[in-house]
Amino acid sequence: MAFKDSFSKITKSLSDGASNVVQKSNDLIEISKLNAEIDIIEKKKEIIYLGIGKLVYNSYITKVELKEEIKNKCDDLIEYDEEIKKIREQIFNVKKIKKCSNCGIKIDIDTSFCPNCGNKQELVKSNNSAEFSDSIEDDDTL
Ligand SMILES: [Zn+2]
């Protein structure tokens, strides 16, 4: 009997360990997926930068004001930067880290006070990721 008990304890801890490994590799997949999304947005930004450059040059050559067109492209860049910011927050959430709202260093998500500056931290709900992915799906339907 005693042997059976300890055996079941061992198998339990083994399967716990295995599920941790699965969780970790899922996290890594999630993080690389999010990083890939950032790469795509960065490429879109590069295209917009080129477009702005062309507009500025055309405006210079033709002496036609293209302020509105340039403004629109800059607004697009701001939107893309916002998207990147959101994705970076998601990555932090998966990694279980956050940035101190005062000094900006990366700290554990459950830390109440910043070890660097002592600033009190707002509590972050650990299952935020569902909310984040919901908001991304909303964005896609727009
Ligand atoms: Zn701090």
| CA dist., res. 124 & res. 107, Å (int) | 12
Confidence of residue 4 (pLDDT cuts 50, 70, 90): low
- Which stretches of 95-141 are DSSP H helices? 129-141
Give domain limits for the chain.
Answer: 1-95, 97-142
Q: How far is the CA of 31 from the centre of ligand 1 (A)?
A: 24
Other C-beta atoms closer than 10 Å to the C-beta of 72 total 14
Q: Among 78, 113, 79, 84, which Cα is nearest to 98's?
A: 113
Model pLDDT for residues 72-117, shown as the tens digit of each residue: 999 999 999 999 999 999 999 999 998 898 999 999 988 999 999 9
Residue type, 74: C
**Which fold is adopted by the domain 1-95?**
Helix Hairpins (1.10.287)
Q: Among 108, 96, 119, which Cα is nearest to 27's?
A: 96
Element (H, E) at 106: strand 106-108
Q: How far is the CA of 92 from the centre of ligand 1 (A)?
A: 16
Q: How far is the CA of 98 from the centre of ligand 1 (A)?
A: 11
Confidence of residue 125 (pLDDT cuts 50, 70, 90): low
Q: How far is CA 107 from the centre of its chain?
A: 15
Other C-beta atoms closer than 10 Å to the C-beta of 59 total 15
User: pTM above 0.85?
Assistant: no
Model pLDDT for residues 36-53, shown as the tens digit of each residue: 999 999 999 999 999 999
Element (H, E) at 107: strand 106-108
Q: How far is the CA of 110 from the centre of ligand 1 (A)?
A: 14
User: Does the pLDDT value for residue 134 go beyond 70?
Assistant: no
